[in-house]
Amino acid sequence: MSIQVSQVKGDVVELIFNPREEDLRVGETLRIRERDSGEGLVVQVVAFRMVTYPSLIREQLELVIGQVPPLSRELLTYLSEAQDPYKEYDASEARNLKVAIAKIRKLTGRSWDQWDGWIPMRDVDVSRVLDQELFDNCIDDLGNPLHLGQTLRGEPFAIEGHYLEKVNVITGVKGAGKSYLSKVILLELINAGAPCIVFDLNKEYMHLPKHELDPETGDVRTRGIIHLKAGDNLKLGIRQFGLSPLVTMLTKFGLPEVSAMYFENRMARLFQEAWQMERQGRTPPFIGIQHLIDMAEELEFSQNEGVSAAIRSRLEAARNTGVFADQAHDATSLQAEYDKIRYGGALVVDISGLTNMSRQGFVQAIIDSVREICEQELQRGTGRFPFVFFEEAHLYISHNTIGYIVTRSRHLGLTCFFVTNMIGGLDETVLRQVDNLFLLHLPFDDDVRHISKSAMVDQETMGSFVKRLRRHHALILGDVTRQYPIIIKVKELKGIHTAGETQYFFKPKQRGPSAGQPAALQVDAPPGVQKAGPTPHSHGVPPAQPSLPLHGLEETTPEDHKCLARLQARWPDIVRTLRHKSAFLGSVLTAGRPWKFQGQVLSITFTARDTFHRDMLTEPEYRLLVEKELSAVLHQPVTITCHTLT
Model pLDDT for residues 235-291, shown as the tens digit of each residue: 999 999 999 999 999 999 999 999 999 999 999 999 999 999 999 999 999 999 999
Res. 394: pLDDT tops 90: no
Local confidence band at 555 (pLDDT 50, 70, 90 cut-offs) = low
Q: Convert the pLDDT of each residue in 578-603 to its tens digit.
A: 888 777 788 788 888 898 888 888 99
Q: What is the pTM of this model?
A: 0.72
pLDDT-above-70 percentage for the chain? 85
Strand 156-160 and strand 145-151: the pairing is antiparallel
Cis bond upstream, residue 166 (ω within 30): yes
**Contact assessment for residue 323 and residue 357, using Cβ atoms and an 8 Å cutoff:** no
Choose between 154 and 551: higher pLDDT. Answer: 154
Ranking 81-95, 183-197, 364-378, 589-603 by mean pLDDT, the lowest is 81-95
How much is the pLDDT for 560? Answer: 86
Contact 83, 92 (CB under 8 A): yes
Higher model confidence: residue 453 or residue 487? Answer: 487
pLDDT given at position 324 = 94
Judge whether 386 and 338 are in contact, CB under 8 Å. Answer: yes
Assess whether pLDDT exceeds 50 at residue 419.
Answer: yes
Q: What is the mean pLDDT of residues 550-573?
A: 76
Residue pair 338/375 in contact (Cβ under 8 Å)? The answer is: no
3-state SS string for 131-173 = HHHHHHHHCCCCCCEEEEEEECCCCEEEEEHHHHCCEEEEECC
Per-residue pLDDT, 625: 87
Q: Which of 626, 601, 600 is nearest to 613 (CA)?
A: 626
In terms of Cβ atoms closer than 10 Å to its own Cβ (0-12, 13-18, 19+), residue 467 is middle
What pLDDT, in 10s, does the model give residues 174-193? 888 899 999 999 999 999 99
CA 276 – CA 269 distance, rounded (Å) = 10
What's the pLDDT score for residue 588? 80
Does the pLDDT value for residue 515 go beyond 90?
no
- What Cα–Cα distance (Å) separates residue 225 from each residue in 65, 209, 346, 365, 377? 68, 6, 5, 21, 21
Give the contacts of 609 (CB within 8 A, at least 6 positions apart).
none
Per-residue confidence (pLDDT) for residue 539, from 0 to 100: 42
State yes or no: pLDDT of 91 exceeds 60. Answer: no
Cβ contacts of residue 558 below 8 Å, gap of 6+?
A: none
Whole-number Å distance between alpha carbons of 268 and 286: 16
- Mean pLDDT estimate for the chain: 83
Q: Could you please report the per-residue DSSP string of 442-494? A: ---HHHHHHHGGG-SS-HHHHHHHHTSPPTTEEEEEEGGGTT--EEEEEPP-T
> In the structure, what pLDDT confidence band is assigned to residue 511 with cuts at 50, 70 and 90?
low
Q: DSSP class of residue 362?
A: H
| CA 405 – CA 399 distance, rounded (Å) | 10
Q: What is the pLDDT of residue 395?
A: 87
pLDDT band at 77 (very low <50, low <70, confident <90, very high): low
In the prediction, which pLDDT does 533 show? 43
Q: What pLDDT was estimated at residue 85?
A: 45
